């Protein structure tokens, strides 16, 4: 359990869901973790859990649509943990609506949370990684960043942007020994997925049952996705960059 021994990781959206599962897994694998989120109570709970298990973690509160908060999150991580080796841009949101139904403000908010925050964190993290001789960036995209989905125009557009942003950064920063990939989860049992049911006015149980209609016959767990992120962050993926790793129980297979 030491695949990330000595590494320093910054994980956004780490107070719940996939971010929480990844923070706990990274800590168990030896990484010191910077837990970044707007949810102070949830974020501090994750830090406490890591510390109870003998790991090292800090909480940084920030609105990642703001450049100053992103710069501060990177700076606090570096100053407290002694460096930054891994960045997992996981913070995200969904608004289920067609282009006609969606307001301009909703469009802007989804793009800011899902795309702008990724751009900003990378902007401030990459110089730190380059100066240290390299690093790893994993961005949370989605299966709906590769194919379209119903009543989700802003989400699909934002996650498609994350896929292409990841590929472009992999080209630009490979010479600095910085690997950049994205993970594309299918439906995963997180608070965000359950919020989708509410937005669509569907019973949560029925919504989750429909989401399980895929070759493996179930929806994903946060731990399923965390294991894929761990692979991309680890030396096992040392020759992997510029890829979009689909983790969806076969949902896009046919």
Residues recognised as catalytic: 155
| Strand partners of residue 77 | none
- What whole-number distance in Å separates Cα of residue 214 and Cα of residue 86? 32
Q: Which residues of 60-93 are buried (b: 16+ CB within 10 A; e: fewer)?
A: bbbebbeeebbbbbbebbbeebebbbbbbbbbbb
Q: Give the separation between CA 183 and CA 3, rounded to whole angstroms.
A: 19
Sorted by sequence, the CB contacts under 8 Å of residue 239 that are 6+ apart come out as none
Q: Work out the end-to-end distance of the chain between its first and last CA atoms, rounded to an integer number of angstroms.
A: 35
Distance CA 156, CA 107 (A): 11
The conformation of residue 188, written as its DSSP 8-state character, comes to B
Coil vs helix vs strand at 253: coil
Count of residues for the chain? 254
């Amino acid at each position: 359990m030491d695949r990330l021994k000595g590494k320093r990781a910054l994980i956004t959206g780490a107070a719940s869901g996939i971010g929480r599962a990844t923070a706990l897994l990274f800590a168990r694998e030896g990484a010191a973790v910077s837990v970044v989120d707007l949810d102070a109570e949830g974020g501090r709970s994750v830090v406490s859990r890591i510390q109870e298990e003998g790991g090292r973690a800090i909480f940084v509160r920030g609105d990642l649509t703001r450049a100053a908060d992103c710069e501060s999150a990177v700076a606090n991580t570096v100053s407290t943990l002694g460096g930054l080796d891994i960045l997992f841009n996981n913070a995200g949101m969904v608004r289920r609506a067609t282009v006609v139904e969606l307001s301009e403000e909703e469009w802007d908010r989804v793009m800011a949370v899902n795309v702008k925050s990724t751009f900003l964190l990378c902007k401030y993290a990459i110089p730190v990684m380059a100066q240290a001789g390299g690093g790893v960036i994993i961005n949370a995209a989605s299966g709906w960043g590769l194919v379209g989905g119903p009543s989700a125009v802003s989400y699909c557009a934002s996650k498609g942007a994350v896929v292409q942003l990841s590929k472009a950064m992999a080209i630009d920063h490979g010479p600095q020994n910085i690997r950049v990939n994205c993970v594309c989860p299918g439906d995963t049992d997180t608070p965000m997925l359950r919020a989708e049911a509410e937005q669509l006015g569907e019973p949560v149980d029925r919504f989750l049952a429909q989401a399980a209609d895929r070759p493996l016959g179930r929806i994903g767990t946060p731990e399923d996705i965390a294991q894929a992120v761990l692979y991309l962050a680890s030396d096992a993926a040392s020759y992997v960059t510029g890829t979009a790793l689909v983790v969806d129980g076969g949902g896009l297979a046919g």
